Amino acid sequence: MSARNPGMKLDLGWISKVRVNTHAVLKRAQTIQGHKTPKKQWQAAWLLKAVTCIDLTTLAGDDTPSNVHRLCLKAIQPVPYHLLNKMDMHDQGVTTAAVCVYPSRVADAVKSLKAANSSLAVASVATGFPAGQTPLETRLQEVRLAVADGATEIDIVINRTLALTGQWEAMYEEVRQFREACGDAHMKTILAVGELGTFTNVYKASLVAMMAGSDFIKTSTGKESVNATYPVAIVMVRAIRDYFLCTGHKVGFKPAGGIRTAHESLLWLTLIKEELGNDWLCPLLFRLGASSLLADIERQIYHHVTGQYAAYHELPMA
């Protein structure tokens, strides 16, 4: 992973001055959605780039050691070898960025990856995911247990009540404690933007999360009614840019929830390239949280190589 974001003292003056121009944000989002995406071999190259930025995720109540094992094998070989071979990419180490599971499944993922001799990152959601409404000590303990089981990245959720009621000191303090509990594991902070009400609130919550030492900020748990949208992303990446200009520390960005098509993944890469620049176009600073996106990207790559579309059953999970 990249250099850590050490955070900074909470700057309430900066936070209180924040105003977001909703009309301008929506207009910018429209231009992103209207972008023409690359075609042919350029599209295939961008899609492989998207694959390397995916946190391949399973967060289901019926997760078992066997489906976590399948997820890990898929993350190690996300695109079938014969397709990569045809593109002369078979020896480029194309994997997803990480696998993401519940804390109780971290040990299973670590075991599967170790058995496959893979150093792929294991991310775990924690802190009372998805609602963040359990007692603070329980949330902290969940982080510690996930790290002890071998998680190298922790996706925490903020307590939305604190953000909605403007209790920025309390939110800052909680996130600082989560960061401490993470130890050497990198921390991604989920804002659950669909529950924050306004763009201004999203921007403020982004700033507070970064000031408290988040290595990434993430849009959603995937469990809210509104997840990763382009307008919200623009607000968040501009907060990342402002924080970088102020502190010199680069914070990563992770949209998650509802990202299902190859076309959407290309638009997300375009947004990052235009708003933050090429430095952010790598798994160290950009992730796509997704469970079903990879299947559509595979179909597009299959089409690029063979001229035909594969049925989903021809591109199995592992």
Residues sharing a CB contact under 8 Å with residue 219, sequence separation 6 or more, in sequence order:
190, 191, 193, 227, 228, 229, 232, 233, 236, 254, 255, 256, 257
Listed as own residue / partner, the contacts of 7-11 with beta carbons closer than 8 Å and 24 or more positions apart are 7/176, 7/179, 7/210, 7/211, 7/212, 7/213, 7/214, 8/211, 8/247, 9/211, 10/168, 10/169, 10/172, 10/208, 10/211, 10/212, 11/211
pLDDT tens per residue across all 318 residues of the chain:
668 999 999 999 999 999 999 999 999 999 999 999 999 999 999 999 999 999 999 999 999 999 999 999 999 999 999 999 999 999 999 999 999 999 999 999 999 999 999 999 999 999 999 999 999 999 999 999 999 999 999 999 999 999 999 999 999 999 999 999 999 999 999 999 999 999 999 999 999 999 999 999 999 999 988 899 999 999 999 999 999 999 999 999 999 999 999 999 999 999 999 999 999 999 999 999 998 999 999 999 999 999 998 877 777 665
Tell me what pLDDT residue 1 has: 60
Tell me what pLDDT residue 110 has: 98
Q: Where are the alpha helices (DSSP H) in 185-311?
A: 199-211, 230-247, 262-275, 293-306
**Class of CATH domain 12-314:** alpha beta
Tell me what pLDDT residue 312 has: 72
Q: Are 222 and 39 in contact (CB under 8 A)?
A: no
Q: Are 53 and 283 in contact (CB under 8 A)?
A: yes
Alpha-carbon Rg for the chain in angstroms: 19
- Active-site residue set: 218, 254
